[in-house]
Amino acid sequence: MHPPMQNPLLHTPTRALPRHVAVIGAGTIGPDIGYYLASALPGLRLTLVDVAQAPLDKALARCRDYAAKAVARGKMSEAQAGAVTSAIVATQDYAALADCDWVIEAATENLALKRRIFAQLEGIVAAQCLVTSNTSSLPAARIFADMQRPGRATVTHFFAPAWRNPVVEVIDWERCERDVLAWLRWVFAMTGKVPLVTADAVCFMLDRIFDNWCNDAALLLGRATAAEIDSAAGAYVHAGPFFVLNMAHGNPIITETNTLQAEEEGAHYTPAPIFRSVEQWLTVAPGKRVELDAATDAALRERMLGVLFAQSFDILDRAIGAPADLDLGCRLALGFKRGPLELMRELGESQTRRIAERFAADRPGMPLPQRPLAAYQEHLRHVLVDDIAGVKVVTLRRPEALNALHDELTDEVLAVIRRFENDPAVAGFVVTGYGARAFCAGADIGRFPSMLGDAAASAQYSRDCSRLLVHLDAMSKPVVAALNGMALGGGLELAMRCHAIVALRRAYLQLPEITLGIVPGIGAMVVPYRRWPAAAETFHAMLRRAERLGAERAHELGVVDELADDIGQLVQRALARVHALQGRVGRIAEGPVAIPPLAAVEPLAAGGQTLSREVLAILERAVRDAAAAPTLAAALEVGYLAFGASACTAAAREGIQAHREGRQPDFARTG
Ligand code: COA
């Protein structure tokens, strides 16, 4: 049996995308799951099932409301919205599920009820129909214990709001068939979700964090008010525990899930009694805080960190989840500003140890680290690595930013390459992006504000991000870029340094930097002219007008070596390229290159946006100087310095600010 792929889309699916899915339970989360699936999978039939008509009617109205909002925000056309809402039908009749490919149970959190539903389902659906439960706490082994065919069943745990929250925990329990697990992960990744595999422990991975975080907040109520605790917790989360509990009507859930943990693992998990007597908390909205003296603030913060760290140690020591998934899940699903392991890294070992020990003293029985603290930091944070027949497939995984690059990510890719490039069992590497949408949306714009106005720091950041790219230039083992979607800015610059590029037909290449008032500093003003001189006019237009280059046109120009129709084919073609390139990796031209003149153009982007004349001039000068530079290294240096110069313009400040605010920049004002 093949080990599971870390990147879910590297799995070769043995069944097609679903055509008919049913969601049982028209409460809050069921319709949201249904709406997500119906909008992500055109042509899908989505049946919502409940025992009463009123919740079904409410659920359909809610889906219509979501679709109307999506149209109002320009995220969907009227026609798409109409197709989504008419794809969702409601029924009280289980017989309507007979031809389903997949049934998702999202009924009340009650073991006996769930078991009854699955027993009934087995009498109705076909043998190959998958069945999953959206429980947040009940282990799969208990829910599916009496099923005749438990191999096609598992837990798929969504997070609110399920139509938008990307995270789904997919539970790997002992009787679930490997293929079923792999297919579920594949479908989720194909439809824009981020599936995280967890073990079948009570509350899985993320609810162990969330429930205990909330429970500990409630246990602190003798020392501080809910508003004070939420204010202190605001250092780590976008919304404090009491605010979230109010939103989710979560008090009874914590009582239930922590009782389950207490029964299973010890009295230290016993829920705070106050959850039984309070319905709503008096607290502050996210971003707001009440005044707190510094000592109380620090004590509350450390205590909240203590519970977070204790749960994290336990999750990792018991292999309930993987470290990078833990951080990612806490950020994406639970609204943490940083994951627990990131927080530990920032604090350093002695502070982390002090906080953990203090917490253990306050809360006897709570888990302590079972390994040296440094061991919890030994993992790749932003990339996944798979091995397919001796080729290492490196997947850029930053789903919150369409896989945007920063120096830490590029350094991780470099570390993986260095680790395996001298291994005779490794033929080469494929670099691809997580999900079905983006290879990489460029450099992480969030890192730019701190650099603006500092030419030397900006140029140095470009050099730092280029460590990987310069290494690729000198490699003899092939590295192939597999563009599974858009390749923008720095992402395209990375792809252009790989030794071959394969791309989905629908992928596109673009250098949007000029529209942000900056220039692409890590090779785009240099490398394409040296690698594909015949396409120089196209690169002029991409750089100066942010023109998009579709993958098919890029293939005609020789920039993309091969096209693919779907992700499976893309990966196969990329792997074949790695093998075909053995001993044949080319080098980027070293000496000066001739380029067509950069005839004067209006400062106007292809999308109609007015551009900055000053930044355009920086870009054009850099393109000319880089072409004339005596060596590739000197040409690249021209690019780093030009990025530094652009970062000091008023246009850059305006462009980055406008992007953050979601508006068009006003370069007419900045020049
Ligand atoms: N850096 C950091 N975050 C990025 C990013 C980047 N380069 N590109 C996208 N993201 C983030 C978005 O901010 C958004 O995060 P949010 O959900 O927290 O707001 C998330 O990825 C999804 O992107 P979004 O803009 O909502 O998707 P969309 O479909 O509306 O638009 C793009 C997609 C690619 C057109 C748009 O994201 C974009 O213009 N990105 C910047 C591309 C760019 O200029 N790259 C070069 C940078 S030098």
Please work out whether the CB of residue 546 comes within 6 Å of at least one atom of ligand 1.
no
The verdict on residue 668 lying in a domain is no
Angle between helices 467-474 and 632-646 (to 10 degrees): 160
Q: Does residue 1 carry a pLDDT above 50?
A: no
- For ligand 1, the distance from its centroid to the CA atom of residue 513, given in whole angstroms, is 12
Render pLDDT for 237-273 as a digit per residue (tens, 0 to 9).
999 999 999 999 999 999 999 999 999 999 999 999 9
Q: What does pLDDT average to over the chain? A: 96
Q: What is the DSSP string of 25-91?
A: --SSHHHHHHHHHHHHSTT-EEEEE-SSHHHHHHHHHHHHHHHHHHHHTTSS-HHHHHHHHHHEEEE
- For ligand 1, the distance from its centroid to the CA atom of residue 438, given in whole angstroms, is 10
Nearest to 652 by CA among 407, 402, 454, 456: 454
The pLDDT of 329-356, averaged and rounded, is 97
- For ligand 1, the distance from its centroid to the CA atom of residue 197, given in whole angstroms, is 26
For residue 671, what pLDDT is reported?
A: 86
- For ligand 1, the distance from its centroid to the CA atom of residue 440, given in whole angstroms, is 10
- For ligand 1, the distance from its centroid to the CA atom of residue 402, given in whole angstroms, is 6
Please work out whether the CB of residue 488 comes within 6 Å of at least one atom of ligand 1.
yes
Ligand 1, atom 17: closest residue by C-alpha: 400
Please work out whether the CB of residue 442 comes within 6 Å of at least one atom of ligand 1.
yes
Amino acid of residue 259: T
Render pLDDT for 631-655 as a digit per residue (tens, 0 to 9).
999 999 999 999 999 999 999 999 9
Q: Does residue 336 carry a pLDDT above 70?
A: yes
- For ligand 1, the distance from its centroid to the CA atom of residue 436, given in whole angstroms, is 15
With a CB cutoff of 8 Å and minimum separation 6, the contacts of 634 are none
- For ligand 1, the distance from its centroid to the CA atom of residue 489, given in whole angstroms, is 11
Number of the ligand 1 atom closest to the C-alpha atom of 511: 46
For residue 3, what pLDDT is reported?
A: 64
Whether residue 192 is found in the same domain as residue 210: no
The verdict on residue 1 lying in a domain is no
Q: How far apart are CA 420 and CA 500, in angstroms?
A: 19
Q: Which is catalytic among the residues 169, 412, 493, 614?
A: 493
Structure tokens given for 295: 């000592």
Please work out whether the CB of residue 444 comes within 6 Å of at least one atom of ligand 1.
yes
The CATH number of the domain holding residue 425 is 3.90.226.10
Please work out whether the CB of residue 446 comes within 6 Å of at least one atom of ligand 1.
yes
**Of 346, 377, 408, which residue is a domain's last?**
377
Q: What is the Cα Rg of the chain in Å?
A: 27
Amino acid of residue 123: G
Please work out whether the CB of residue 441 comes within 6 Å of at least one atom of ligand 1.
yes
Q: How far apart are CA 9 and CA 13, in angstroms?
A: 9
Whether residue 175 is found in the same domain as residue 261: no
Q: Which is catalytic among the residues 513, 620, 637, 654?
A: 513
Q: Does residue 164 carry a pLDDT above 70?
A: yes
Ligand 1, atom 36: closest residue by C-alpha: 441
Number of the ligand 1 atom closest to the C-alpha atom of 486: 34
The verdict on residue 567 lying in a domain is yes
Confidence of residue 4 (pLDDT cuts 50, 70, 90): confident
The pLDDT of 438-464, averaged and rounded, is 94
Please work out whether the CB of residue 492 comes within 6 Å of at least one atom of ligand 1.
no
> Taking the chain, what is the end-to-end CA distance rounded to the nearest angstrom?
61
Ligand 1, atom 3: closest residue by C-alpha: 401
Render pLDDT for 594-623 as a digit per residue (tens, 0 to 9).
999 999 999 999 999 999 999 999 999 999
Ligand 1, atom 37: closest residue by C-alpha: 441
DSSP 647: T
Q: Does residue 170 carry a pLDDT above 90?
A: yes
Ligand 1, atom 1: closest residue by C-alpha: 444
Render pLDDT for 503-560 as a digit per residue (tens, 0 to 9).
999 999 999 999 999 999 999 999 999 999 999 999 999 999 999 999 999 999 999 9
Render pLDDT for 27-41 as a digit per residue (tens, 0 to 9).
989 999 999 999 999
**Of 377, 400, 428, which residue is a domain's last?**
377
The CATH number of the domain holding residue 282 is 1.10.1040.50
The verdict on residue 632 lying in a domain is yes
The verdict on residue 669 lying in a domain is no
Residue range(s) defining the domain that contains residue 122: 8-199
Residue whose CB lies within 8 A of the most ligand 1 atoms, among 445, 611, 615, 664, for a mutation test: 445
Ligand 1, atom 41: closest residue by C-alpha: 441
Whether residue 211 is found in the same domain as residue 306: yes
Please work out whether the CB of residue 365 comes within 6 Å of at least one atom of ligand 1.
no
The pLDDT of 84-94, averaged and rounded, is 97
Please work out whether the CB of residue 443 comes within 6 Å of at least one atom of ligand 1.
yes
Number of domains within the chain: 3
Number of the ligand 1 atom closest to the C-alpha atom of 516: 44
Q: Does residue 181 carry a pLDDT above 70?
A: yes
Please work out whether the CB of residue 513 comes within 6 Å of at least one atom of ligand 1.
yes
Whether residue 176 is found in the same domain as residue 262: no
Q: What helix, strand, coil percent values describe the chain, rounded to 5?
A: 50, 15, 35
The model's pTM: 0.96
Q: Does residue 57 carry a pLDDT above 70?
A: yes
**Cα torsion through 501, 502, 505, 507, rounded to 10:** -50
Please work out whether the CB of residue 71 comes within 6 Å of at least one atom of ligand 1.
no
Number of the ligand 1 atom closest to the C-alpha atom of 445: 1
For residue 2, what pLDDT is reported?
A: 53
Whether residue 342 is found in the same domain as residue 388: no
The verdict on residue 670 lying in a domain is no
Whether 493 sits among the annotated catalytic residues: the reply is yes
The verdict on residue 2 lying in a domain is no
Q: Does residue 47 carry a pLDDT above 80?
A: yes
Q: How far apart are CA 582 and CA 536, in angstroms?
A: 28
Structure tokens given for 610: 């007015």
The CATH number of the domain holding residue 126 is 3.40.50.720
Structure tokens given for 54: 């009123």
The verdict on residue 671 lying in a domain is no
Render pLDDT for 295-305 as a digit per residue (tens, 0 to 9).
999 999 999 99
- For ligand 1, the distance from its centroid to the CA atom of residue 442, given in whole angstroms, is 9
Ligand 1, atom 30: closest residue by C-alpha: 75
Render pLDDT for 343-357 as a digit per residue (tens, 0 to 9).
999 999 999 999 999
Nearest to 497 by CA among 414, 399, 420: 414
Number of the ligand 1 atom closest to the C-alpha atom of 438: 34
Ligand 1, atom 44: closest residue by C-alpha: 512
The pLDDT of 462-471, averaged and rounded, is 96
Angle between helices 632-646 and 613-628 (to 10 degrees): 170
Whether residue 224 is found in the same domain as residue 195: no
> What are the angstrom distances between the C-alpha of 193 and each of 332, 367, 476, 503, 632?
11, 31, 36, 22, 41
Please work out whether the CB of residue 521 comes within 6 Å of at least one atom of ligand 1.
no
Whether residue 553 is found in the same domain as residue 404: yes
Whether residue 390 is found in the same domain as residue 365: no
Number of the ligand 1 atom closest to the C-alpha atom of 75: 30
Number of the ligand 1 atom closest to the C-alpha atom of 448: 48
Render pLDDT for 118-152 as a digit per residue (tens, 0 to 9).
999 999 999 999 999 999 999 999 999 999 999 99
For residue 213, what pLDDT is reported?
A: 97
For residue 41, what pLDDT is reported?
A: 97
Whether residue 45 is found in the same domain as residue 111: yes
- For ligand 1, the distance from its centroid to the CA atom of residue 441, given in whole angstroms, is 6
Whether residue 195 is found in the same domain as residue 76: yes
Confidence of residue 407 (pLDDT cuts 50, 70, 90): very high
- For ligand 1, the distance from its centroid to the CA atom of residue 601, given in whole angstroms, is 28
Please work out whether the CB of residue 512 comes within 6 Å of at least one atom of ligand 1.
yes
Whether 105 sits among the annotated catalytic residues: the reply is no
- For ligand 1, the distance from its centroid to the CA atom of residue 198, given in whole angstroms, is 29
**Of 377, 397, 416, which residue is a domain's last?**
377
**Beta carbons of 654 and 670 less than 8 angstroms apart:** yes
Q: Give the helix/strand (H/E) hosting 641.
A: helix 632-646
Whether residue 315 is found in the same domain as residue 420: no
Dihedral over Cα of 540, 541, 546, 550: its sign = negative
Render pLDDT for 362-380 as a digit per residue (tens, 0 to 9).
999 999 999 999 999 999 9
Ligand 1, atom 29: closest residue by C-alpha: 75
Whether residue 480 is found in the same domain as residue 395: yes
